[in-house]
Amino acid sequence: MSVTTPVEKLGSAGLKTTGFIGAIGLLLRDVAALSPRMVTATRGRRLAWDNLWFQMYRVGVRSIGVVGLVTFCIGAILALQIGPILEDYGAAAQLPTIIGIAMFRELGPLIGAIVLTGFAGASIAAELGTMAVAEELKALRSHAISPIRFLVVPRVLATTIMTVCLATFSDAMGVVGGAFTSNLALGITPTQYLRQTFEAVGHFDLLTGLFKAGVFGAIIGALPCYLGMNVRGGASGVGAATTKTVVYSIVALVCVDLLFTFVFYMLEL
């Protein structure tokens, strides 16, 4: 009888994780290679623009309300938590600076991406998983239609574009939430709040946040596509892929955010 040691378990988990990350990377590579050719291709292999618009509406436009509500509340919560502490030290005027930088650099892109993961990522995984179980992917391949070109590319492009757009919207709603609460709790007028925010937030803060959002969007699109297209086991497999999509995506987003935050921090030194 074989006995699996903790070291062997750790090594096996490491190999599986590495293989999974590599598979996602290869899928993103294929998407990056196909996208420019599909835009300029002749009829038959051209990007289905109607499908892209539909996916952008599905994953982005329909989630605006949820993302706006969450980020507005985040900005309001930050003002309520940080404002009294700053007021005790006579630094209440710095509250717009703290909230603005936090929203534009970190919370806007990250919170928007996490909400989009639950709103759209799980749906993509379930949709493609159902197609895999019903052997629709095999039918596409039998007609010489690449599932990556036909299914994955529009979804990854849509999530990438819309995550960047939602990050901008999240930044604005977070600032509005902070301004609303600061006016009620600390007496900072909206004009003062917005002026201080615009003075504190620079181009570097905005661009780094939008860059993160683009990477987050690619992850949100590629990861559920990979899990959905590799579903096995019928309906239970679809459910497992949907659950894994949400869990893996959130973990990946936080880890990638930490990596980019460290890199951007070193660039500022």
- Decide if 22 is inside a domain: no
Domain, as residue range, for 156: 48-268
Tens of pLDDT, residues 12-69: 888 888 888 898 988 888 888 887 766 666 665 667 778 888 888 888 888 899 999 9
pLDDT class of 213 with cuts at 50, 70, 90? very high
- Decide if 103 is inside a domain: yes
pLDDT class of 1 with cuts at 50, 70, 90? very low
- Decide if 157 is inside a domain: yes
Burial of 146 by CB count in 10 Å (0-12 exposed, 13-18 middle, 19+ buried)?
middle
- Decide if 91 is inside a domain: yes
- Decide if 30 is inside a domain: no
Residue 42 confidence (pLDDT): 60
Mean pLDDT of the chain: 87
- Decide if 164 is inside a domain: yes
Residue 176 has pLDDT above 90, yes or no: yes
Residue 86 confidence (pLDDT): 87
What is the pLDDT averaged over residues 189-200?
Answer: 90
- Decide if 31 is inside a domain: no
What is the pLDDT averaged over residues 74-78?
Answer: 93
- Decide if 38 is inside a domain: no
What is the pLDDT averaged over residues 126-142?
Answer: 87
Cβ neighbours around 253 below 10 Å, total: 22
Residue 144 confidence (pLDDT): 79
What is the tally of structural domains in the chain?
A: 1
Residue 113 confidence (pLDDT): 92
